[in-house]
Structure 1
Amino acid sequence: MTPSTGKDLKTGNGEQPQRAWRPLWANVVAAGVILCAAAAALIYLDRLYPVGLGPRQPIPFSHRVHAGIKHISCFMCHDSVTRSSRAGIPPLQTCLLCHARIIRTYPYIARLREQAARNQPVVWQRVNWLPEFVYFDHSMHLRRGVDCSHCHGDVRQMDRVAGAVKFEMGFCIQCHRDNRVTHDCFVCHR
């Protein structure tokens, strides 16, 4: 501002220069709108992917890709489930049946091959768990026509497998009642 004229040098008139910052309340409102939009997006995305994500695994294996897109049967990898009480985790050699030739250079597949060469297993994080005093036979349920998804959810849509149901006594008893199967205590508690 010049002392003789009282005019601002930048604007050329007697008005005060426009401030470049907004009032504090406008910033608070803008931050609130952004937070609300982010919360709405998270709620919306959760509805699009309702199965959630299971525990992080040492190798990012996607059931959605293998069982869903590629239509690989559960029994290809979990081959003991038809003859054993446990479904089991497939050995690395099962993975390498395909991945000895398919996407060999993918870093996690290369790591898988290295672990197999050292005869070192992949230590997966357990998703489903039953107490030791409960006897459950996968093969018996499969022979009776119980689909895997009844207990494990639609695994074909899961990237990381998440527990679909809580394996508690009430869940099992209700299923046995609904299917007119015995719910005698010693069937499961041996």
Structure 2
Amino acid sequence: MSGPEKKGVPRWASYAAATAILASALAALVYLNRLYPVGLGPRQPIPFSHRVHAGIKQISCFMCHDSATRSSRAGVPPLETCLLCHSRIIRNYPWIARLRGHVAQNRPVVWERVNWLPEFVYFDHSMHLMRGVDCGHCHGDVRQMDRVAKARKFEMGFCIRCHKVNRVTHDCFVCHR
């Protein structure tokens, strides 16, 4: 006899114990949010699924990011925007209750930023939207993302290629101010 069977423990029991330990470790990783599916963005303080809101419910990007159409920044919507719907829809869901608590206490939610540009780069969302550039060109298919993940690396080459393809100026001072 070899291994555990020498001591009177059947081999299948050893395998079952090892499997249970591995399953527990995997469950702990999932529970602690250490095991991310591919393409999942950073964990946010209040879970928000763009897939549900923009994809399934087909809510326009501009319902929440309304400043994108009139300014350089798309911005993060005020929490009151969420409550336009969630004062009536799934009110008792724990995360919505937490959101309402933030609003009641006038306490902001500090979201984890996904996309950013260096300070020396000027980018105007409204100008690109007026010219028909779809949000997904830079941000990917957000309608399929539960947690938004960075779709592109915003480097100068990405922007210049787009400007050249679309026959738009690529003069340095357009972006570098």
For these two proteins, the number of residue pairs brought into alignment is 155
Deviations 1:107-140 (A, max 9, x none): 0000100100111111000000100000000000
Normalising by structure 2, report the TM-score.
0.81
Would you say 1:115 and 2:102 are equivalent positions? Answer: yes
Establish whether residue 143 from structure 1 lines up as the match of residue 162 from structure 2: no
Distance (whole Å) between structure 2 residues aligned to residue 138 and residue 116 of structure 1: 28
Matches within 5 A, 1:124-143: 124-143=111-130
Q: TM-score if structure 1 supplies the norm length?
A: 0.75
Q: Which residue of 2 aligns with 1:5?
A: none
Unmatched 5+ stretches in structure 2: 1-7, 27-36
Q: Shift of residue 63 of structure 1? A: 0.1
Find out whether 1:104 has 2:99 as its counterpart: no
Aligned counterpart for 1:154 among listed residues 125, 141, 154: 141
Q: In structure 2, which of residues 44, 49, 53 is the aligned counterpart of residue 66 of structure 1?
A: 53
Q: Distance in 2 between matches of 1:75 and 1:140?
A: 15
**How big is the shift at 1:54?**
0.3
Runs of 4+ in 1 over 4 A off after TM superposition: none
SS in 2 for 1:53: coil
RMSD: 2.5
- For 1:169, the aligned partner's letter is M
Q: Which amino acid aligns with 2:121?
A: V
SS in 2 for 1:102: coil
Partner residue of 2:171? 184
**C-alpha distance in 1 between matches for 2:9 and 2:108:** 61
More helix by share: 2
CA drift at 1:20: 5.7
- When Rg is computed on C-alpha atoms for both structures, the one with the higher figure is 1
Q: Deviations over 1:14-66 (max 9, x none)?
A: xxxxx7644xxxx7xx98xx9xxx9xxxxxxxxxx76x100000000000000
